[in-house]
Structure 1
Amino acid sequence: MNFVPQTADNSPQRCLSMAVAINAALRGDLANIGRLACPAGAVRVTVKDKRCRAGRLAVLIPLNAQAAALDWWLAEMTRNSMSFGFASAPAAEARFGWALIGDGGTAGPEAQEGA
Protein backbone atom coordinates (compact mmCIF):
# COMPACT_ATOMS: atom_id res chain seq x y z
CA MET A 1 0.00 0.00 0.00
CA ASN A 2 1.33 3.46 -0.91
CA PHE A 3 0.38 6.89 0.35
CA VAL A 4 -1.84 8.89 -1.98
CA PRO A 5 -0.38 12.38 -2.51
CA GLN A 6 -2.49 15.28 -1.27
CA THR A 7 -3.02 17.18 -4.51
CA ALA A 8 -5.99 18.66 -6.39
CA ASP A 9 -5.74 15.94 -9.08
CA ASN A 10 -9.16 14.28 -9.59
CA SER A 11 -8.25 11.95 -12.45
CA PRO A 12 -9.72 8.43 -12.62
CA GLN A 13 -6.31 6.99 -11.67
CA ARG A 14 -6.15 9.26 -8.62
CA CYS A 15 -9.68 8.24 -7.55
CA LEU A 16 -8.74 4.56 -7.92
CA SER A 17 -5.60 5.09 -5.81
CA MET A 18 -7.68 6.77 -3.11
CA ALA A 19 -10.25 3.94 -3.14
CA VAL A 20 -7.49 1.32 -2.79
CA ALA A 21 -5.94 3.20 0.14
CA ILE A 22 -9.28 3.79 1.90
CA ASN A 23 -10.38 0.17 1.47
CA ALA A 24 -7.03 -1.09 2.83
CA ALA A 25 -7.38 1.18 5.89
CA LEU A 26 -10.95 -0.03 6.50
CA ARG A 27 -9.72 -3.65 6.33
CA GLY A 28 -7.07 -2.80 8.92
CA ASP A 29 -4.17 -3.27 6.51
CA LEU A 30 -2.23 -0.40 8.01
CA ALA A 31 1.53 -0.05 8.10
CA ASN A 32 1.66 0.62 11.84
CA ILE A 33 3.34 -2.51 13.18
CA GLY A 34 6.81 -3.88 13.74
CA ARG A 35 8.87 -6.32 15.80
CA LEU A 36 11.53 -5.85 18.44
CA ALA A 37 13.77 -7.96 20.62
CA CYS A 38 14.69 -7.04 24.18
CA PRO A 39 18.09 -8.62 24.88
CA ALA A 40 18.69 -10.60 28.06
CA GLY A 41 19.58 -8.23 30.89
CA ALA A 42 18.08 -5.09 29.32
CA VAL A 43 15.48 -2.99 31.18
CA ARG A 44 14.79 -0.60 28.30
CA VAL A 45 14.62 -0.94 24.53
CA THR A 46 14.23 1.76 21.87
CA VAL A 47 12.57 1.44 18.47
CA LYS A 48 13.63 3.88 15.74
CA ASP A 49 10.78 4.37 13.29
CA LYS A 50 9.54 7.34 11.23
CA ARG A 51 5.93 6.63 12.26
CA CYS A 52 6.63 7.42 15.92
CA ARG A 53 5.70 10.86 17.22
CA ALA A 54 4.54 12.51 20.41
CA GLY A 55 0.92 11.82 21.25
CA ARG A 56 0.77 8.37 19.68
CA LEU A 57 0.26 5.31 21.80
CA ALA A 58 2.04 1.99 21.38
CA VAL A 59 1.36 -1.53 22.58
CA LEU A 60 3.57 -4.60 22.78
CA ILE A 61 2.41 -8.10 21.87
CA PRO A 62 4.49 -10.89 23.47
CA LEU A 63 5.83 -13.38 20.93
CA ASN A 64 7.61 -15.75 23.33
CA ALA A 65 7.38 -16.85 26.98
CA GLN A 66 10.12 -14.43 28.08
CA ALA A 67 8.14 -11.50 26.67
CA ALA A 68 4.87 -12.70 28.22
CA ALA A 69 6.46 -12.74 31.69
CA LEU A 70 7.58 -9.08 31.57
CA ASP A 71 5.83 -6.02 32.95
CA TRP A 72 6.39 -3.15 30.51
CA TRP A 73 5.37 0.44 29.85
CA LEU A 74 5.77 2.97 27.07
CA ALA A 75 8.58 5.04 28.57
CA GLU A 76 8.90 7.63 25.81
CA MET A 77 7.36 8.51 22.44
CA THR A 78 9.09 11.18 20.36
CA ARG A 79 9.48 12.00 16.70
CA ASN A 80 11.05 8.96 15.01
CA SER A 81 11.51 6.80 18.13
CA MET A 82 9.81 5.18 21.10
CA SER A 83 11.21 3.44 24.16
CA PHE A 84 9.73 0.74 26.34
CA GLY A 85 10.77 0.13 29.94
CA PHE A 86 10.64 -3.17 31.80
CA ALA A 87 10.17 -3.70 35.54
CA SER A 88 12.80 -6.44 35.45
CA ALA A 89 15.33 -7.58 32.89
CA PRO A 90 14.54 -10.78 30.99
CA ALA A 91 16.87 -13.76 31.56
CA ALA A 92 16.78 -14.53 27.82
CA GLU A 93 15.80 -12.55 24.72
CA ALA A 94 12.18 -11.38 24.85
CA ARG A 95 10.53 -10.96 21.45
CA PHE A 96 7.59 -8.64 20.85
CA GLY A 97 5.41 -7.33 18.09
CA TRP A 98 4.39 -3.68 18.45
CA ALA A 99 1.57 -1.55 17.09
CA LEU A 100 1.11 2.20 16.98
CA ILE A 101 -2.30 3.67 17.77
CA GLY A 102 -3.60 7.16 17.15
CA ASP A 103 -2.73 10.14 15.02
CA GLY A 104 -0.29 11.86 17.36
CA GLY A 105 -2.86 14.35 18.62
CA THR A 106 -3.42 15.05 22.29
CA ALA A 107 -7.22 15.14 22.27
CA GLY A 108 -9.04 12.94 24.72
CA PRO A 109 -10.32 12.90 28.29
CA GLU A 110 -6.88 13.21 29.89
CA ALA A 111 -5.86 16.16 27.70
CA GLN A 112 -9.18 17.90 28.32
CA GLU A 113 -8.97 17.62 32.13
CA GLY A 114 -5.98 19.94 32.31
CA ALA A 115 -7.36 22.45 29.82
Structure 2
Amino acid sequence: MPRFVPPSPQATPGQMLALASGVNAALRGDCANCGLLDVPAGALSATVQDSRCRAGRLALLIPLDAGAAALPWHLEAMERGAMRFAFTGAAPAPCRFGWLLAGEGISVP
Protein backbone atom coordinates (compact mmCIF):
# COMPACT_ATOMS: atom_id res chain seq x y z
CA MET A 1 0.00 0.00 0.00
CA PRO A 2 1.30 3.50 -0.76
CA ARG A 3 2.67 5.65 2.03
CA PHE A 4 1.76 9.20 2.97
CA VAL A 5 2.99 11.81 0.52
CA PRO A 6 4.72 14.72 2.28
CA PRO A 7 3.23 18.12 1.46
CA SER A 8 5.54 20.15 -0.71
CA PRO A 9 5.15 23.36 -2.72
CA GLN A 10 7.28 21.75 -5.47
CA ALA A 11 5.52 19.47 -7.97
CA THR A 12 8.32 16.98 -8.63
CA PRO A 13 7.81 13.92 -10.82
CA GLY A 14 8.41 11.65 -7.80
CA GLN A 15 5.82 13.44 -5.73
CA MET A 16 3.27 13.33 -8.56
CA LEU A 17 3.78 9.55 -8.88
CA ALA A 18 3.43 9.07 -5.12
CA LEU A 19 0.28 11.20 -5.10
CA ALA A 20 -1.28 9.30 -8.01
CA SER A 21 -0.42 5.99 -6.36
CA GLY A 22 -2.06 7.08 -3.09
CA VAL A 23 -5.20 8.36 -4.80
CA ASN A 24 -5.53 5.19 -6.87
CA ALA A 25 -5.14 3.04 -3.75
CA ALA A 26 -7.86 5.04 -1.96
CA LEU A 27 -10.19 4.67 -4.95
CA ARG A 28 -9.59 0.90 -4.87
CA GLY A 29 -10.54 0.88 -1.19
CA ASP A 30 -7.02 0.06 0.02
CA CYS A 31 -7.19 2.53 2.89
CA ALA A 32 -6.90 -0.20 5.53
CA ASN A 33 -9.17 1.52 8.07
CA CYS A 34 -10.40 -1.84 9.27
CA GLY A 35 -9.48 -4.75 11.49
CA LEU A 36 -10.75 -7.71 13.49
CA LEU A 37 -12.16 -7.77 17.02
CA ASP A 38 -12.44 -11.04 18.92
CA VAL A 39 -14.91 -10.89 21.82
CA PRO A 40 -14.60 -13.54 24.55
CA ALA A 41 -17.65 -15.24 26.09
CA GLY A 42 -19.09 -13.18 28.94
CA ALA A 43 -17.66 -9.87 27.75
CA LEU A 44 -19.80 -6.76 28.24
CA SER A 45 -17.47 -4.57 26.20
CA ALA A 46 -14.45 -4.80 23.92
CA THR A 47 -11.70 -2.31 23.10
CA VAL A 48 -9.81 -1.80 19.86
CA GLN A 49 -6.35 -0.26 20.28
CA ASP A 50 -5.38 1.45 17.03
CA SER A 51 -3.55 4.69 16.27
CA ARG A 52 -6.22 5.63 13.69
CA CYS A 53 -8.89 5.96 16.40
CA ARG A 54 -9.68 9.54 17.38
CA ALA A 55 -12.57 11.78 18.31
CA GLY A 56 -15.04 12.50 15.53
CA ARG A 57 -14.46 9.32 13.52
CA LEU A 58 -17.32 6.98 12.79
CA ALA A 59 -16.92 3.36 13.83
CA LEU A 60 -18.86 0.30 12.76
CA LEU A 61 -18.80 -3.34 13.76
CA ILE A 62 -19.56 -6.01 11.17
CA PRO A 63 -20.60 -9.38 12.61
CA LEU A 64 -18.53 -12.23 11.18
CA ASP A 65 -20.37 -15.11 12.86
CA ALA A 66 -23.81 -15.96 14.27
CA GLY A 67 -22.79 -15.07 17.83
CA ALA A 68 -21.66 -11.60 16.78
CA ALA A 69 -24.82 -11.09 14.70
CA ALA A 70 -26.96 -11.72 17.79
CA LEU A 71 -25.03 -9.30 20.02
CA PRO A 72 -26.39 -5.71 19.99
CA TRP A 73 -23.65 -3.10 20.42
CA HIS A 74 -22.95 0.62 20.55
CA LEU A 75 -19.81 2.73 20.44
CA GLU A 76 -19.19 3.60 24.07
CA ALA A 77 -16.00 5.66 23.72
CA MET A 78 -13.72 6.97 20.99
CA GLU A 79 -10.44 8.60 21.89
CA ARG A 80 -6.97 8.98 20.49
CA GLY A 81 -5.61 5.47 19.97
CA ALA A 82 -8.60 3.45 21.19
CA MET A 83 -12.32 2.85 20.78
CA ARG A 84 -14.57 0.82 23.06
CA PHE A 85 -17.77 -0.98 22.09
CA ALA A 86 -20.35 -1.94 24.72
CA PHE A 87 -22.81 -4.79 24.35
CA THR A 88 -26.42 -4.88 25.55
CA GLY A 89 -25.76 -8.18 27.32
CA ALA A 90 -22.83 -10.48 27.91
CA ALA A 91 -21.54 -12.34 24.88
CA PRO A 92 -22.94 -15.89 25.24
CA ALA A 93 -19.97 -17.41 23.37
CA PRO A 94 -16.75 -16.19 21.78
CA CYS A 95 -17.51 -14.22 18.64
CA ARG A 96 -15.76 -12.13 16.02
CA PHE A 97 -16.46 -8.77 14.44
CA GLY A 98 -14.80 -6.81 11.71
CA TRP A 99 -14.47 -3.12 12.48
CA LEU A 100 -14.34 -0.12 10.21
CA LEU A 101 -13.34 3.51 10.78
CA ALA A 102 -14.61 6.29 8.55
CA GLY A 103 -14.30 10.04 8.42
CA GLU A 104 -11.56 12.52 9.04
CA GLY A 105 -12.11 12.86 12.76
CA ILE A 106 -11.32 15.82 14.93
CA SER A 107 -7.73 16.56 15.79
CA VAL A 108 -7.42 16.64 19.57
CA PRO A 109 -4.10 17.91 20.99
TM-score by length of 1: 0.87
Give the drift of 1:48: 0.6
**Within 1, Cα distance between the matches of 2:22 and 2:55?**
25
Provide Cα deviations, 1:69-111, integer angstroms capped at 9, x if missing partner: 0000010000000000000111211100000011104xxxxxx
The superposition leaves residues 32-57 of structure 1 with CA deviations (integer Å, 9 ceiling, x where unpaired) of 00101111000011111000000101
Q: Which residue of 1 aligns with 2:100?
A: 99
1:27 equivalent in alignment to 2:21: no
- Measure the CA separation in 2 of the matches of 1:20 and 1:9: 18
- Structure 2 counterpart of 1:6: 7
Shift of 1:8: 2.8
In the alignment, the residues of structure 2 paired with residue 7 and residue 95 of structure 1 have an alpha-carbon distance, to the nearest angstrom, of 42
Q: Per the alignment, in what secondary structure is the counterpart of residue 51 of structure 1?
A: coil
Alignment size in residue pairs: 105
- Kindly report structure 1 stretches of 4+ aligned residues shifted beyond 6 Å: none
Q: Distance in 1 between matches of 2:40 and 2:9?
A: 48
**Structure 1 range deviating more: 43-52 or 7-16:** 7-16
Matched, 1:76 2:77: yes
Corresponding position: 1:65 with 2:66: yes
Structure 1 residues without counterparts, runs of 5 or longer: 106-115
SS in structure 2 at match of 1:40: coil
What is the one-letter code of the residue matched to 1:22?
A: V
Structure 1: which amino acid aligns with 2:9?
A: A
Deviates more, 1:75-84 or 1:88-97: 88-97
Identity %: 55
Cα shift at 1:26: 1.6
Residue 52 of structure 1 corresponds to: 53
Provide structure 2 residue ranges, at least 5 long, that are not aligned to the other structure: none
Q: Cα RMSD between the aligned structures?
A: 1.0
SS at match of 1:61: strand
